[in-house]
Amino acid sequence: MKYLAGPWCGEWGWELMTWVPHLRWLASKGHKVHVICQPWHEFFYSDFMSGYDNWTFNEGIGDLWNFNARPTTKPFVPTKFKNKYPDHEIYLPNKERCLNGKQMPIQYGVVYLGAIYDLIIHARKENKYGSKTRNWSMSNWTTLATLLKDKGLSIVSMGSKHGAYHVPGTDDLRDEYLPDLCDTMAASRLLIGPSSGPMHLGELTGTPRIVWTGPEKQKIFGGATNKERYERIWKQFDTPVKVIEEWQPSVEKVYKAVAKRLCV
């Protein structure tokens, strides 16, 4: 069977942890899976896809699911791709396909020379869907980085330039080529930051994480919290994770958690 899959519109944590591994499972059954998605996402599908077409959705189009477990935007395949691949069956993301357990995750990233960095930070500055209250201040990040640099740790900032800060005193790997970033993550000792797509990616690169998030309950997970999503629901591999269940933990709390994990 030939499938025309996607596009994925929304949070890429969901894409990484549910939609991509489901399509990989579908391909493992002998089906051809041609993917439509954003240009920079191609790497995640490259091990199993039969082809790929770029399509960029408008910012603010909405997450695939909101907290009430209903699509905020109806998935669709643009007409130009339907016309281009008339022999392919349309295959759209939906709740059943992403939460049915028919998934095949893989680990991304290759470790070449041992640990590259002691610490990777994702200093989120996004305000998608009014979420800026999740972001730590630059003052907090700078204070934390200074304390940890004084302990001799090597630190790098990651993420996109429009979505994350470069924290002073750290190397800057924002907008890094995705395969290279996954290699760096896989070979680094710890990833920290508020809940985000990059923090979920750490599960798939085998990077230990300290992540902070709120106590909100999510209907789509039967009332489970985001903490349970990191520790159980989206636990694809045995990647260590410590969840601090508050959106604005103190610098002292995060510093102590990092120092304990890295034994400094």
104 located within any domain: no
**Taking Cα atoms as reference points, which of 208, 169, 219, 256 lies closest to residue 68?**
219
pLDDT value, residue 62: 53
pLDDT value, residue 176: 93
- Is residue 136 located within the same domain as residue 15? no
15 located within any domain: yes
pLDDT value, residue 96: 84
- Is residue 83 located within the same domain as residue 33? yes
Range of the domain at 50: 2-98
112 located within any domain: no
pLDDT value, residue 227: 95
**20: helix, strand or coil:** helix
Cα–Cα dist 104/28, whole Å: 9
Q: Enumerate the β-bridge partners of residue 4.
A: 34, 90
Q: Average pLDDT for consecutive 10-residue bins of the chain (264 residues)?
A: 89 90 97 93 96 77 54 73 95 86 93 83 87 92 97 96 96 94 95 96 97 90 91 93 97 98 95
- Is residue 21 located within the same domain as residue 93? yes
Residues whose CB falls within 8 Å of the CB of residue 137, separated by 6 or more in sequence, listed in order: none
* Per-residue DSSP letter, 124: B
**177: helix, strand or coil:** coil
Cα–Cα dist 108/110, whole Å: 7
107 located within any domain: no
CATH number of the domain residue 128 falls in:
3.40.50.2000
